[in-house]
Amino acid sequence: MWRNLIRNTLFALILVGLLLIGVKQFNSNGLNDTSNSKSNKEINQNLVSSRMTYGRFLEYLEMGWVKQVDLYDNSRNAIVEASSPELGNRPQIIRVEIPVGASQLISKLKEYNIDFDAHPVENKNFLITLASNILLPILFVGGLFYFFQNSENANSSPMSLGKSTARFERRPDTGVGFNDIAGIDEAKAEFEEIVSFLKQPDKYTIVGAKIPKGILLVGPPGTGKTLLAKAIANEADVPFFSVAGSEFVEMFIGIGAARVRDLFKKASENAPCIVFIDEIDAVGRERGAGVGGGNDEREQTLNQLLTEMDGFKENKGVIVVGATNRADILDSALLRPGRFDRQVTVNLPDRLGRIGILKVHARNKPIGNDVSLVQLANRTPGFSGADLANLLNEAAILATRYKKSAITKNEVNEAADRIIGGIEGTSMDDTKNKRLIAYHEVGHAITGSVLKSHDEVEKITITPRGVAKGLTWFTPEEDQSLLSRSELLARIITTLGGRAAEQVIFGDPEVTTGASNDLQQVTNLARQMVTRFGMSNIGPLALEDENSGQVFLGGGMVQGTEYAENIADRIDEQVCKIINYCEQKAIEIILDNRVIIDLVVEKLLDVETIDGAEFRTLLSTYTILPEKNAPYISKFS
């Protein structure tokens, strides 16, 4: 009783102190943090980070499985909390990329009565600055009341704020071993030595061998970084701490740092062990970068992390594994020797990798004889390990729904279609719109087929899926890390082919908004050709890096001024030139092949879906005008 009173009084004093410092130091980042901190905490309670297509998300919405939605980056991304009976009602945290043009989303959310929050982009603007200076003191006082009220009955007393929120597993997730990881062999190999160190640390320390304290796993989401860290702990049979970087990013100065200290204290008590910090860029972002200058709280947290990593001079067996998909924005101090001195890149799996991963996830599922995992791997370039796991899982769910005893080709195909394109809707009535969409899709398919440098058609459909009213898929060549200029141009022409067909067949006034996504892709590609690949008259200059445009990330702001303004004009001019050229070509191809287009459209209106083989048979019965004698691309300069 007395202890509580003293504790709370002390806490009040500290808070008032913080308040004084805080009011002075708060900036626009702080404002964001207040709105983010709630969702961050909730998100990270379940480190699940799967992804879902927008179409699937709409289905979840309709089924009433969505609990809460947090919108980020001007509603381009959403973090969705949901639970579906299909997955045993366990809470899921899912990332959804919102397609441009999905403007009714907010009204939909309201309609279904879903709790949602839109989080502002970190944007230093005058109003926010003003608001933060006036509003924040009020927020702080409000915050005080909030904490005191909560501390009355909640079991989380204010004193536990500085405690680490890391989840601790004495024996990590039963059974995740190196055997359960496929497709990332190099990364696995890197870790074998670490496992043997963790098993017998003395053997190494006696001979003075230096074992890395920190390993940084760099790669896109869902490629198995968490899985790898768990597997090391499991193989070495040591405890596993896991925490997300964003859990250290807190509203009050000093709390993140206190959590870091606490985490490392617990870890060293349990050494040897693995400390896994997911999304380490949330704390480790380059200091002083980003919009609006530094964030003192984050800097303190980062400094604490650096100190802790320096702290264990000779490694007694605490190995820190960090994961990020953006190593380039990390503070360089983190990457210095003695800290994260080993970087392991985890890439999206290639074809063989995908076969391996599919095999791992097919192990405990009844798979029918007609399913070819090799074929499935061929069809899924760009899929991450998590996507593939998700695919087989969906297929299993479908098989259950259809009361089948094994997963057949049918379910696998349907699951793949869902994941690539979203959920199938009801087909449209035979209206002018349906006809227009058919022409649009066939426009893509025909331009793609005529161009030598383009991938083959995999499937054309006018059954609506997700937000798309129709879709044309191409089978990409195996893992296209190197694309030639003519391949890029072919891609732009083909992407414009849909709209070109609308234009040629229905005339300018009838062109619809349906191509907006196509146009966005085209603009992106053309811009990259100019600014990243040196494929324009401006010459071989890298004017932007891969991630520019994302100003909210560290370092992004500088990019805007990296080149002079007249270069910006020239970039725009070159981008327009490429796109205009490609549009001309697309229209030319549509005009040249009008007869076959009409025929394919009639067929498509009839059957709704044509697969690649059928499509090619159709083409072979008519002569289409190939580019072979009239090269559509090489003329461009």
Q: Is 328 annotated as a binding residue?
A: no
Task: Name the nearest CA neighbour of 79 among 105, 56, 55, 98.
Answer: 98
- Tell which one of 98, 329, 334, 360 touches ligand ADP (CB under 6 A): 360
Pairwise CA distance, residues 434 & 444, whole Å: 16
The amino acid occupying position 571 is I
Q: Are 438 and 601 in contact (CB under 8 A)?
A: yes
H-helix segments, 329-424: 351-362, 373-379, 385-401, 409-421
**What is the DSSP-derived secondary structure letter of residue 160?**
G
Pairwise CA distance, residues 297 & 244, whole Å: 16
Pairwise CA distance, residues 470 & 476, whole Å: 19
Pairwise CA distance, residues 182 & 219, whole Å: 15
> Which is closer to Zn ion, CB of 70 or CB of 502?
502
At residue 268, what are phi and psi to the nearest 5 degrees? Answer: -70, -25
**What is the DSSP-derived secondary structure letter of residue 330?**
B
Kindly state the smallest distance separating residue 347's Cβ from ligand ADP, in Å: 10
Any catalytic annotation for residue 441? yes
Residues between 338 and 357 with contacts to ligand ADP, criterion CB under 6 A = 357
Site map 444..483 versus Zn ion, x via CB under 5 A: ----------------------------------------
Please give the angle made by the CA atoms of 76, 82 and 88, to the nearest 5 degrees: 145
Q: Which listed option, ligand ADP, Zn ion, none, makes contact with residue 423 (CB within 5 to 8 Å by class)?
A: none
- Tell which one of 30, 99, 143, 183 touches ligand ADP (CB under 6 A): 183
> Which is closer to ligand ADP, CB of 109 or CB of 166?
166
> Which is closer to Zn ion, CB of 122 or CB of 417?
417
Q: Which listed option, ligand ADP, Zn ion, none, makes contact with residue 36 (CB within 5 to 8 Å by class)?
A: none
Would you say the C-alpha torsion 300, 302, 307, 311 has a positive or negative sign?
positive
Pairwise CA distance, residues 545 & 531, whole Å: 8
Pairwise CA distance, residues 618 & 602, whole Å: 12
Q: Which listed option, Zn ion, ligand ADP, none, makes contact with residue 360 (CB within 5 to 8 Å by class)?
A: ligand ADP
**What is the DSSP-derived secondary structure letter of residue 465?**
B
Q: Is 609 annotated as a binding residue?
A: no
Q: Is 221 annotated as a binding residue?
A: yes
Q: Which two tokens stand for residue 583?
A: 């549009």
Strand intervals (E) in 346-470: 456-461
Q: Is 275 helix (H, G, I), strand (E, B) or coil?
A: strand
Strand intervals (E) in 219-272: 240-244
The residue annotated as part of the active site, out of 441, 487, 502, 588, is 441
Q: Is 220 annotated as a binding residue?
A: yes
Q: Are 443 and 590 in contact (CB under 8 A)?
A: yes
Q: Which listed option, ligand ADP, Zn ion, none, makes contact with residue 183 (CB within 5 to 8 Å by class)?
A: ligand ADP
Residues between 499 and 528 with contacts to Zn ion, criterion CB under 5 A = 518
Number of chain residues interacting with ligand ADP (CB under 6 A): 18
Kindly state the smallest distance separating residue 382's Cβ from ligand ADP, in Å: 14
Q: Is 225 annotated as a binding residue?
A: yes
At residue 504, what are phi and psi to the nearest 5 degrees? Answer: -65, -45
Q: Does 323 bind ligand ADP (CB under 6 A)?
A: yes
Look up tokens 């202890």; give the residue: 3
Q: Which listed option, Zn ion, ligand ADP, none, makes contact with residue 518 (CB within 5 to 8 Å by class)?
A: Zn ion
Q: Is 222 annotated as a binding residue?
A: yes
Q: Does 583 bind Zn ion (CB under 5 A)?
A: no
Residues between 194 and 233 with contacts to ligand ADP, criterion CB under 6 A = 221-227
- Tell which one of 224, 448, 498, 556 touches Zn ion (CB under 5 A): 498
Q: Are 476 and 432 in contact (CB under 8 A)?
A: no
* Binding segment toward ligand ADP, per CB under 6 A, in 143-151, 381-389, 518-526, 539-547: 381-389
> Which is closer to ligand ADP, CB of 132 or CB of 380?
380
Residues between 67 and 86 with contacts to Zn ion, criterion CB under 5 A = none
Q: Which listed option, ligand ADP, Zn ion, none, makes contact with residue 380 (CB within 5 to 8 Å by class)?
A: none
Binding site for Zn ion (CB under 5 A): 498, 518
Question: Which residues are annotated as part of the binding site for ATP?
Answer: 219-226
**Which residues have a catalytic role annotated?**
441
Binding site for ligand ADP (CB under 6 A): 49, 181-184, 221-227, 323, 357, 360, 385-386, 389
Question: Which residues are annotated as part of the binding site for Zn(2+)?
Answer: 440, 444, 518
